[in-house]
Structure 1
Amino acid sequence: MRKLSVVIAALNEEKNIGRALKSASFADDIVIVDSGSTDNTVKAAKKYTSRIYRAEFRGFSAVKGMGTAKAKGDYILVLDADEEITAALKNKIKAILGEKKPFDGYAVKRVNFFLGGEIKYCGWGNDYQVRLFKNGAGRFDGRQVHENIIVRGLMGKIEEPLLHYTYPDSSSYFIKMNRYTTLAARPGRGPAAVVGMVFAPFLKFFRMFFLKRGFKDGMRGFILCVYSGISEFVKYAKEAEKGFKHGR
Structure 2
Amino acid sequence: MAGLTIIIPTLNEEEFIEQAIMSASFADEILIIDSFSRDRTLDIAKKHRVTVCQRAFDNFSSQKNYAIDRASHEWIFILDADEVIIPELQKEIASEIRKAEPHKAYEVKTVRMFMGRQMKYGTAKNDTKTLLFQKQHARFGAKLVHENLVVEGSRGALKHYILHYTYRGFDHFVSKKNHYAWLQAREMFDKGKKANIFHILVKPPFRFFSEYILKRGFMDGFPGFVNAYINSYGVMTRYIKLWLLQHQQK
Task: Please tell me the TM-score bracket, short chain as reference.
Answer: over 0.9
Distance in 2 between residues matched to 1:30 and 1:194, nearest whole Å: 46
Cα deviation 1:36-79 (Å, max 9, x = unaligned) = 21111111121224521111111000101111111111211011
CA offsets, 1:192-225, max 9 Å, x none? 3432111111011011011111111111111111
- Match of 1:62? 62
User: 1:47 and 1:26 mapped to 2: Cα distance?
Assistant: 16
Distance 1:198 1:50 in 2: 47
| Equivalent residue number for residue 204 of structure 1 | 207
**Which contiguous aligned blocks of 4+ residues in structure 1 show a shift greater than 4 angstroms?**
none
Structure 1 length-normalised TM: 0.94
Query: Identity over the aligned pairs, expressed in percent?
Result: 36
Alpha-carbon distance between aligned partners in 2 of 1:44 and 1:75, rounded to the nearest angstrom: 25
Cα RMSD (Å): 1.6
1:27-46 residue pairs with structure 2 within 5 A?
Answer: 27-46=27-46
Matched, 1:100 2:100: yes
TM-score w.r.t. the length of structure 2 is 0.94
Unaligned runs of 5+ in 1: none
Match of 2:234 among 226, 231, 235: 231
Query: CA–CA distance in 1 between the matches of 2:159 and 2:170?
Result: 29
Alpha-carbon separation, structure 2, partners of 1:143 and 1:48: 32
2:225 is matched with 222
2:29–2:50 CA contact under 8 A, matched in 1: no
CA-to-aligned-CA distance 1:159-204 (integer Å, 9 cap, x gap):
21111111233122112112111111133655x3432111111011
Distance of 1:45 and 1:93 partners within structure 2: 23
The code of the aligned residue for 1:226 comes to Y
Consecutive unaligned residues of structure 2, counting only runs of 5 or more, are none
- 2:138 aligned partner: 138
